[in-house]
Amino acid sequence: RPRGSSPGLRVMCRRCCKHLWAQGCPLGFSSHPSGGWDGFLGFLQSLGAVFSFISKDAVAKVTLLETHRQRHNFVSLQSMVEQELSAGPAALRARPDSGCRTVLRLHRALRWLQLFLEGLRSGDPRTSVLCTDAYNASLAAHHPWVIRKAATLAFCALPSREAFLEVMNVGPPEEAVAMLGEAIPYIRDVYGITEELFERHKLLDLP
Ligand code: 1PZ
């Protein structure tokens, strides 16, 4: 997609976040396919090739979850966790393609997103700094050195705050900021629900 043509965050935030939140699910299980992540990923892809190593991984994860959802008819994140745990926690830990370990990666990325969007909303113009800080406070702890290095390099290519608010395609900057204020609480709620569920089932460190 060319720059600026992404329905991106507007679609994500106004519609998908509400779907996600309604079902308490971060992914794949709402009435909206892929449960909201497609809005973000379209937006990420519109930011250009520098971010494609990130979007490729995210697309692979969303696709895996969508395949699992269709194959097993999962209706909620909770039902997926229950089904995958039914063979016991050891069997789940041994699976490199489980829905749970995949959701966990996106769950950590959602924390990054929340922190980053909060920073963007705050008015701080230094997008790369906001992004790096959000990353260091979330995903970085779970990534090996090379990934941290590559991610930090990619963040330098982020557009300015003005350009960023513009590619969000919401309208004038003030409107984009207002939309963030509307969307962030949904992201926070979805994050909290998943965190609680995974903590209860001791899944927060799935390899
Ligand atoms: C707008 C700028 C976008 C920055 C996004 C910040 C996230 C940086 C993540 C960099 C890692 C990408 C490379 C792949 C990493 C994978 O090794 C890990 C672990 O998965 P495993 O190897 O265990 O299967 N993948 C992740 O941590 C998931 C990363 C998903 C990133 C989704 C970003 C959503 C962006 C929305 C944009 C508005």
Domain assignment present for residue 117? The answer is: yes
Domain assignment present for 172? yes
First and final CA of the chain: distance in angstroms?
34
Phi, psi (rounded to 5 degrees) for 30: -90, 180
Helices within 123-172 (DSSP H only): 127-136, 145-155, 161-167
User: What is the count of structural domains for the chain?
Assistant: 1
Give yes or no for residue 54 CB within 6 A of ligand 1.
Answer: yes
Kindly state whether residue 206 falls inside one of the protein's structural domains: no
Low-confidence ranges of the chain (pLDDT < 70): 1-36, 38
pLDDT on residue 168: 76
Domain boundaries, position 95: 8-200
Residue 31 lies in a domain: yes
Where residue 194 sits, what CATH number does that domain have?
1.10.3520.10
Which pLDDT belongs to residue 35?
53
Q: Please work out whether the CB of residue 57 comes within 6 Å of at least one atom of ligand 1.
A: yes
Q: What is the ipTM of this complex?
A: 0.96
Nearest CA to ligand 1 atom 1: 44
**How far apart are the C-alpha atoms of 42 and 38, rounded to whole Å?**
6
Please give the distance of CA 189 from its chain centroid, rounded to a whole number.
13
Determine the distance separating the centroid of ligand 1 and the alpha carbon of 54, expressed in angstroms: 5
In-domain check, residue 2: no
CA of 64 to the centre of ligand 1 (A): 15
Residue nearest to atom 26 of ligand 1 (CA): 105
pLDDT of residue 1: 29
Is 26 part of a structural domain of the chain?
yes
